[in-house]
A and B are shown apart, each in its own frame.
Chain A
Amino acid sequence: MSNYEKLQYYFEFSYVRYAFIVGILIALCSSLLGVTLVLKRFSFIGDGLSHVAFGAMSLATTLPVMIKKYALEWTGENKLSPRMQSVVKWFAELNDMYIVLPVTLICAILLLRTGQNTKIKGDAAVAMISVGSLAIGYLLMNRYPSRANISGDVCSTLFGSTSIITLKTEDVRLCIIMSVVVILTYILFYNKIFAVTFDENFIRASGVKANAYNLLIAVVTALIIVLAMNLVGSLLISALIIFPALSAMRVFKSFRAVIICSAVISVLCAAFGIIYSILYSTPVGSTIVAADLVVFLLFSVISAIAGRRKAG
């Protein structure tokens, strides 16, 4: 089979097409906010939140096992009552996102708060929360394994699905809704986000509620991280957020151009990564991030050459 035939074969499956769309949307969303996060010196918050999302994901997957175990110990019997069984079943069938999303959102808001509180400095708080949730996440997965293959579970939460095809249809639907929400929010609040990023004090002095927009940025960041977790896994999310922004900032000079360029880079890299991973069966997340890295290096070289030409 030639590469083209192979692609055609895969794209005949509706879930492959959906996964492709989802991947593109996630890449678009993450690149939009990346510029703001990088410029506000918030990139580390994205990283911290992704670890929180890992912890929450572990909690979500181990919750049914945990409930079952303690219910059995509590009653002292070796079989669950029908009522407990239905509870366990409900938790097992519940989409992980419904647990991961609220937990990550709360942490995003907390992290933003600590930025203003001087008791624990911002970066220390982020470090604390992020390694804390990593540790607890792994602890939970190890202690209450929901499946036999623990290291496989951990690996896919950290580095994303090994194959894009493992995305569930419900995930796809949720992803599309959330990405549309993120993109619309970004467009509607574009000017405000720009002003908050450039100079918080100024707009605060003119009576604009800067904190509300900071909160909005934190919430949208949390949304994006939860979204992107399915695609690239929690360890690589930061790359998806930061690389396109950094690449675009090397070359372009206005905020709007930087945003558009970073969105284009991110979408192209995601499309390339997904197609490549289908053809050569590489892990999706790392392929996309590798593509982003290559583009970043390319743009760095371009800006260096342009800078030299200008100086000379």
Chain B
Amino acid sequence: MSAQMICSNASLGYEGGIVAEKLDFTINKGDYLCILGENGSGKSTLIKAILGLKPQVSGEIKWCGDVKKNEVGYLPQQTVVQKDFPASVREIVRSGCLAKCGLRPFYNKAEKELAESTMKQLEISGLAKRCYRELSGGQQQRVLLARALCATRKMLLLDEPVTGLDPKAQLELYELIAKLNREGITIIMVSHDIVSAVKYASHILHIGGRKQLFFGKKEDYVRSATGKLFIGSEMMENE
């Protein structure tokens, strides 16, 4: 197992306000890490730090092995703009190759083929000419996933991917992500769906109250005090 990202004693936040501190965790190749935490616990700031959009206040986030900074495929939460965006599925998937283009104005043949094969892999080839805004929520997430896979095949960062999907689509998306993970892609998923996190992830990072509550293997999380507390409260809410 080789480490791809090491976050050591990192503090995140804005000028004058620390959102989360003393974050210590390592992501290895092939991991499925689930980042849990309530709203406002610093999850989105952590995402920005991992993506390299907002540097940490102190500490270190180090990339090693085969992954470099800016080589994380990102599946963001949907924005209002995207909901009624007139674009075909193919156009969106291709835009994942943009970083590979550099200053070259158009996509080359290899990039176009990459887009086609990725669509095939995620079983959305049939939708290639369809308009993004007319797809169902689950199909839209598949399109964005295909785009992220065009950008990189090493690591994916998914920001609450199942939000707004119906239970069947949620299940399908979770299974698809698990399948990609089995194929060797490292997955980082931000979520507040503890039940599914425990079901699918290999590692859990739980942040809350400005600090790291837990990091480790899923099995240990279930047995830990934090895990028991949160899984318990989640179960009660569901009942």
Contact = CB atoms under 8 A, between A and B. Distances in A.
Interface stretch (A20-28, A137-145, A251-259): A251-259
A188 B99 CA distance: 15
Interface in B90-115: 90-92, 94-96, 98-99, 101, 105-107
Contact of B99 (A40, A198, A206): A206
A254 B129 contact: yes
B76 A254 contact: no
Interface in B51-102: 51-53, 69-74, 76, 79, 81-82, 85-88, 90-92, 94-96, 98-99, 101
A1 interface: no
B interface secondary structure, majority: mixed
A206 B85 CA distance: 21
Interface in B146-160: 147-148, 151-152, 157
B98 A204 contact: no
A36 to B, nearest CB: 11
A255 B92 CA distance: 9
B131 interface: yes
B225 to A, nearest CB: 35
Contact of A195 (B53, B95, B148): B95
B98 A254 contact: no
Interface residues of A, number: 30
Interface string A184-221: 00011111101101110111111110000000000000
B134 interface: yes
A294 to B, nearest CB: 22
A249 interface: yes
A189 B105 contact: yes
Contacts of A202: 74, 76, 95-96, 147-148, 151
A254 B86 contact: yes
Interface in A154-201: 187-192, 194-195, 197-199, 201
Contacts of B98: 191-192, 195, 203, 206, 208
Given A198-B95, A203-B95, A205-B74, A253 B131 contact: yes
A187 B105 CA distance: 8
B185 to A, nearest CB: 15
Contact of A201 (B70, B76, B101): B76
A257 B130 CA distance: 12
B74 A191 contact: no
Nearest to B151: A206
Given A189-B105, A192-B98, A201 B86 contact: no
11 contacts: A189-B105, A192-B98, A194-B87, A199-B95, A202-B96, A204-B53, A205-B70, A205-B157, A206-B73, A206-B99, A254-B131
